[in-house]
Amino acid sequence: MKDKVVIITGSNMGIGKAIARHLGALGASVVLNGRDAERLSQACDQLREEGMEVSGFPADIADPESCRQLIAHAVKKYGHLDILINNAAISAKGFFEDTRPEVFKQSVDVNILGAMYATREALPHIKATKGQILFISGLAGLRGMPFQGTYCMTKMAQTALAESLRAELYHSGVHAGIVYVGITKNDPTKKVVFNDGTWRPLPERTHRFASTQDRVAKVVTRALERRRFKTTVGWDGKMYLYVSRFAPWLLDLVFRNNIDKFVEHDT
Ligand SMILES: NC(=O)c1ccc[n+]([C@@H]2O[C@H](COP(=O)([O-])OP(=O)(O)OC[C@H]3O[C@@H](n4cnc5c(N)ncnc54)[C@H](OP(=O)(O)O)[C@@H]3O)[C@@H](O)[C@H]2O)c1
- Is the pLDDT assigned to residue 87 strictly greater than 90? yes
What amino acid positions are annotated as catalytic residues? 151
- The protein residue with its alpha carbon nearest to ligand 1, atom 7, reads 138
Q: Which of 10-14, 50-54, 136-140, 257-261 has the lowest mean pLDDT?
A: 257-261
Burial of residue 43 (number of CB atoms within 10 Å: 0-12, 13-18, 19+): buried
- Cβ–ligand 1 distance for 66 under 6 Å, the answer no
> What would the mean pLDDT of 162-167 be, rounded to a whole number?
97
Report the percent of the chain where pLDDT is more than 70. Answer: 99
Distance separating alpha carbons of residues 147 and 165, to the nearest angstrom: 30
What is the predicted pLDDT for the residue at 234?
82
pLDDT tens-digit map of 165-221: 999 999 999 999 999 999 899 998 999 999 999 999 988 777 777 899 999 999 999
Containing H/E element for 133? strand 132-138
Ligand 1 centre to CA of 171 (Å) is: 31
Kindly provide the b/e burial profile for residues 13-31, where b requires at least 16 CB atoms within 10 angstroms of the residue's own CB: bbbbbbbbbbbbeeebbbb
Residue type, 198: T
3 state DSSP class of 92: strand
Ligand 1 centre to CA of 35 (Å) is: 11
Burial of residue 34 (number of CB atoms within 10 Å: 0-12, 13-18, 19+): buried
What is the predicted pLDDT for the residue at 196?
93
Query: Which contacts (CB < 8 Å, 24+ apart) does range 198-205 have?
Result: 202/91, 202/266, 203/266, 203/267
What is the predicted pLDDT for the residue at 206?
73
- Is the pLDDT assigned to residue 17 strictly greater than 80? yes
Are β-strands 175-181 and 199-201 bridged in parallel, bridged antiparallel, or unpaired? unpaired
- Cβ–ligand 1 distance for 61 under 6 Å, the answer yes
pTM for the full model? 0.96
Range of the domain at 205: 5-266
CATH of the domain at 117: 3.40.50.720
Phi/psi of residue 159, nearest 5 degrees: -60, -45
What is the predicted pLDDT for the residue at 236?
82
Kindly provide the b/e burial profile for residues 106-126, where b requires at least 16 CB atoms within 10 angstroms of the residue's own CB: bbbbbbbbbbbbbbebbbebb
What is the predicted pLDDT for the residue at 97?
95
Q: Which of 45-59, 76-90, 152-166, 233-247 has the lowest mean pLDDT?
A: 233-247
Distance separating alpha carbons of residues 220 and 22, to the nearest angstrom: 9
- Cβ–ligand 1 distance for 265 under 6 Å, the answer no
What is the predicted pLDDT for the residue at 205?
77
Ligand 1 centre to CA of 9 (Å) is: 8
Ligand 1 centre to CA of 223 (Å) is: 19
> What would the mean pLDDT of 124-135 be, rounded to a whole number?
98
- Is the pLDDT assigned to residue 256 strictly greater than 80? yes
- Cβ–ligand 1 distance for 89 under 6 Å, the answer yes
What is the predicted pLDDT for the residue at 169?
97
At 42, the pLDDT band (50, 70, 90 cuts) reads: very high
What is the predicted pLDDT for the residue at 91?
96
Q: What is the position in ligand 1's atom list of the atom closest to the CA of 12? A: 43
- Is the pLDDT assigned to residue 78 strictly greater than 80? yes
Give the number of domains in the chain: 1
pLDDT tens-digit map of 219-255: 999 999 999 999 999 888 888 888 988 999 999 999 9
What is the predicted pLDDT for the residue at 76?
98
Torsion angle in degrees (nearest 10) through CA of 112, 263, 248, 167: 10
Kindly provide the b/e burial profile for residues 127-140, where b requires at least 16 CB atoms within 10 angstroms of the residue's own CB: eeeebbbbbbbbbb
